Structure 1
Amino acid sequence: MGGGRMVDYPGYSLPGVAASLLFLLLTVKHPACFPFRCPVDDFRVVGPALPVLAKVGEDALLTCQLLPKRTAVHMEVRWYRSDPYMPVIVHRDGAEVAGLQMEEYRGRVEWTEDGTHEGSVALKIHQIQPGDDGQYWCRFQDGDNWKEASVLLRVVALGSSPNIHVEGPGEGGIQLVCTSQGWFPEPEVYWEGTWGEELLSFSKNHVLGEDGLFYVEDTLVVRNDSSETYSCFIYNRGLEEAKEAAITLPEKLQTELASSRVIGPSQPILVRVGENIEITCHLSPEADAQSMEVRWVRSHYYPAVHVHVGGAHTAGEQMAEYRGRTVVMSDAVHEGTLTLRIHDARTSDDGKYRCLFGKDDVYQEARVDVQVMAVGSTPQITQEVLKDGGLQLRCTSDGWFPRPQVQWRDRGGRAVSSFSEVFHQGSQGLFQVETLLLVTNGSVVNMTCSISLPWGEEKAAWFSLSGW
């Protein structure tokens, strides 16, 4: 008997079959998975390695890629911020799913179809806003299996060219105030002297506006007799760009600052809640202020309580809490006198104000103290007999501003220390008062609960009880 014989089939050989099987195995594991479909749990999602940079007002394109590369037409692709159930946009089986989109992205996002058959998707966001800044997630879902990747969008805005104006002279010298608006994120601000040396700011005020952009106000104090050049730089780290302004203080400027000043009320303005506040300022010596900018502010140049330029109100610079409540009386503007009226005084109006007259970026100012007050209700006294036989008196009142003083007195007018005092400030800024007094002996009680403000306004209640 002879040995077994290998039978060759036309066009096939054992090494050829083995090679075909190996090719099939490698093809299934090949990144493209072509021509077979990948197992549903054998994929991942990648996003860009670096943040996507986009300027405010422009468009941004966010991309992510399905790996191994394959069509994503049959899958659900979901872009979202922090909550997958509040998406920026959702695509399922090649069509956008309506009704799930976050309100702030409606009409501003666009799905691009160019790379979907290779697992590449892109989200275009139109008219980029500061609120778009941050992390996004791109999620691919096939059946019950999903994978996702994050994309970081960095929103930037280069603000306006800085403006340097002069205020003073005041304590310590002249103030150079560098202002600019329209920045995002919050920029860095620094000053340099004539020889490039960095100078320390006196104060910084960076305000996030209603549009989501930053307003910058940075103050440098210099000597009254300075003739050096000072430069203000505002730097956006995201864009690695800066804007600058420079100013030199000539002798003429010193003369102008010394030639006039602004005069305000010599005493604090005292006003009750609900009344009108009137702040009058004037130039000395008398001069026509018609062409000047007159600005009433609190601690900073911007936002302002009211800005009056050329006889008109500049509404865009006004603090939200003063909108619709201010008017300027300018009958005597040619003599350099203007009065700001603030309607319906609130507790939040209490404090210091600055009145600035400016021309050609040179400002003189007066400081004004406004004291808002509210006299509360007549106190109410209630009693409670304690288990140990003592007596507790409770005195309450509300509607006071500022925080009042509370005092118990006996029938001889002598002060008696309270057991406790509690002050609660409500949403309107008014104080509610509760004070307790413990009386442990005596057969007759004659007590007065007095609540008062620093200006002498007082309300009191009297309590009398015999033989408790």
Structure 2
Amino acid sequence: MVDFPGYSLSGVVASFFFVLFTMRQPDSWRVIGPAHPILARIGEDALLTCQILPKRAMMPTKMTWYRSDPNAVVFAQWDGADVTEMQMEEYRERVEWIKDDVPEGSVTLKINNIRPSDNGQYWCCFQEKNYYEETSLLLEVAGVGSSPYIHMEGPVESGVQLVCTAKGWFPEPQVYWEDATGKKLLSVSEHSIQDENGLFYVEATLVVRNASLETVSCFIHNPILNEEKSSVISIPEKLQNELASLKVIGPSQPILVRVGEDIQLTCCLSPKTNAQSMEVRWLQSHHYPAVYVYADGEHVTEEQMTEYRGRTALVSDAINEGRLTLQIHNATTSDNGQYWCRFEKDGVYQEASLDLKIVGLGSSPLITIIGQKDGEIELMCSSEGWFPQPHVQWKDMEAKIIPSFSEVLTQGSHGLFHVKTSLLVTNSFIVNVTCSISNPLLGEEKMATFSLSESMMTFSWKTVLICGLLLAAAVGLVMRKSYKKGSIQNGIARVVQQ
């Protein structure tokens, strides 16, 4: 590692790149890279090579490999020593300079264990005194993932629904369906996401309405490697599966859960069937990642959404009857929405939907006077902690609705609503007013009443009290000054008499 006594690293780096981009000299040598992208598979090693022309026996004193900008350093070597302080964290211990080709004027950087994040442009830069040259290289990262798996939903009115899934691909692969004759079939929906490692999961849905189709194939194709994997499903065979004749039953009404409480999502097979050998998953719109996955008698944590890890528990004491309950601890507003409970066996699944509604009853309203001008008073009613968006109203003594002057609803970091609503009244409008905030799902409300007459009376008494105190203080000050003046005059008179 290079040591620069008397200089800070940031100052050295700034000076280096200032020279790098502002002090180029007439060409004495140049740097060239490969004419085509460098292809590397995930998990393998990549070799990035650039060459100095004409060939030199000695390399320039400063060599730097970087990504998007000169500060994103992959590898740097100055005066024969590695400058590790400049190196990006994700490349430390993963890159090395291969020196075998130096006599030929070539420089090769080896990146071990290629990841999806390594994909993209690189720059190879050399500097000798005040002269520098650089070239760019394109590294294309690719990976072939799992074979597609075809899931079939039991017979429905619209026909048969097939879902093809695969994971571990990079870049995003192409998905397509074919019938037994090789004719392409059109997906009704496609979905893809990148996992925490940057690899793609893909999902494509096909609805088969043609009863004559016996077999259907799903293909996953990598456009960079020009490689693909496929799977085929026999529809008549799958229709003989045990699950094809079963139904999944969920709650018929929406599930209401208050913020902070525990959620229970229960579903069961009908007629009652032992589900120990089945895979059961709770989903939000897509097969993967899932809210919870039960398979082979265990919880499959690697397929669970990050936000549900550590918050879920499965109640499976009635699994022999096909009844399972998922508990989600400490309900938050982000849990609100539609869920699906899916039982699957040997590629055939049945599912039921569950409608979860998260509710929050906020704080009691607080009414304050925020302004008085031109004979008008502006009142502000505020409250927080509501979900979903609350219903806000002002009412008079007879419970008649009074139009608000303004209303502002905002959501905090936890998704709860904070409401502020104002009412503009005249001073002659000396009555009670009520601010009412209600939760439309719970049918519960919180209210606060404000008496303008009491407020004005309180204000008047406060004004009288303050004025009285000020008047008393003024009288006291005058009397004190008069007393002091009289004392001084009496003293002078005594002196004159003597």
Query: TM-score, normalised on structure 2?
Result: 0.83
Instruction: Find out whether 1:353 has 2:345 as its counterpart.
Output: no
Q: 2:179·2:213 contact (CA, 8 Å) conserved in 1?
A: no
Structure 1 residue 95: Cα displacement: 3.2
* Cα distance in 2 for residues equivalent to 1:107 and 1:251: 52
Aligned to 1:269: 255
Aligned to 1:259: 245
Q: 1:72·1:118 contact (CA, 8 Å) conserved in 2?
A: no
Aligned to 2:177: 191
Aligned to 1:400: 386
* Cα distance in 1 for residues equivalent to 2:150 and 2:212: 16
Structure 1 residue 421: Cα displacement: 1.4
* Cα distance in 1 for residues equivalent to 2:279 and 2:417: 38
* Cα distance in 1 for residues equivalent to 2:376 and 2:224: 69
* Cα distance in 1 for residues equivalent to 2:291 and 2:241: 29
Structure 1 residue 423: Cα displacement: 1.2
Which of the numbers 39, 50, 55 marks the counterpart of 1:64? 50
Aligned to 1:465: 452
* Cα distance in 2 for residues equivalent to 1:384 and 1:333: 60
Aligned to 1:89: 75
- Count of aligned pairs: 430
Once the two structures are superposed, the pairs formed by residues 59-458 of structure 1 within 5 Å of their partners are 59-170=45-156, 172-223=158-209, 225=211, 227-250=213-236, 253=239, 256=242, 258-440=244-426, 442-454=428-440, 455-458=442-445
**Secondary structure of the residue that 2:431 maps to in structure 1?**
strand
Q: 1:74·1:94 contact (CA, 8 Å) conserved in 2?
A: no
**Secondary structure of the residue that 2:86 maps to in structure 1?**
coil
Change (3 A) 1:315 1:364: same
* Cα distance in 1 for residues equivalent to 2:398 and 2:234: 69
Structure 1 residue 379: Cα displacement: 0.8
**Secondary structure of the residue that 2:177 maps to in structure 1?**
strand
Change (3 A) 1:463 1:74: same
Q: Which portions of structure 1, spanning 4 or more consecutive aligned residues, are displaced by more than 4 angstroms?
A: 254-258
Q: 1:224·1:254 contact (CA, 8 Å) conserved in 2?
A: no
Structure 1 residue 72: Cα displacement: 4.2
Structure 1 residue 154: Cα displacement: 0.6
Q: What value does the CA root-mean-square deviation take over the aligned residues?
A: 1.8
Q: 2:244·2:350 contact (CA, 8 Å) conserved in 1?
A: no
* Cα distance in 2 for residues equivalent to 1:446 and 1:154: 72
Change (3 A) 1:71 1:339: same
**Farther off after superposition, 87-96 or 275-284:** 87-96
Letter in 2 for 1:104: E
Structure 1 residue 123: Cα displacement: 0.4
Q: 1:130·1:184 contact (CA, 8 Å) conserved in 2?
A: yes
Q: Which runs of 5+ in 1 are unaligned?
A: 1-38
**Secondary structure of the residue that 2:267 maps to in structure 1?**
strand
Structure 1 residue 208: Cα displacement: 0.5
Structure 1 residue 171: Cα displacement: 5.6
Structure 1 residue 169: Cα displacement: 3.5
Q: Deviations over 1:191-211 (max 9, x none)?
A: 122332222212222110011
Query: TM-score, normalised on structure 1?
Result: 0.88
* Cα distance in 2 for residues equivalent to 1:437 and 1:170: 55
* Cα distance in 1 for residues equivalent to 2:297 and 2:210: 32
**Farther off after superposition, 253-262 or 141-150:** 253-262
**Secondary structure of the residue that 1:250 maps to in structure 2?**
helix
Structure with the higher fraction of residues in helix conformation? 2
* Cα distance in 2 for residues equivalent to 1:387 and 1:281: 61
The alignment-based identity, stated in percent, is 60
**Farther off after superposition, 68-77 or 329-338:** 68-77
Letter in 1 for 2:130: D
Q: 1:226·1:249 contact (CA, 8 Å) conserved in 2?
A: no
Change (3 A) 1:296 1:416: same
Letter in 1 for 2:228: A
Letter in 2 for 1:105: Y
**Secondary structure of the residue that 2:117 maps to in structure 1?**
helix
Change (3 A) 1:95 1:116: farther
* Cα distance in 2 for residues equivalent to 1:226 and 1:401: 50
* Cα distance in 2 for residues equivalent to 1:443 and 1:291: 72
Letter in 1 for 2:87: Q
Letter in 2 for 1:278: Q
Q: 2:278·2:344 contact (CA, 8 Å) conserved in 1?
A: yes
Structure 1 residue 366: Cα displacement: 0.8
Structure 1 residue 189: Cα displacement: 1.0
Letter in 2 for 1:238: I
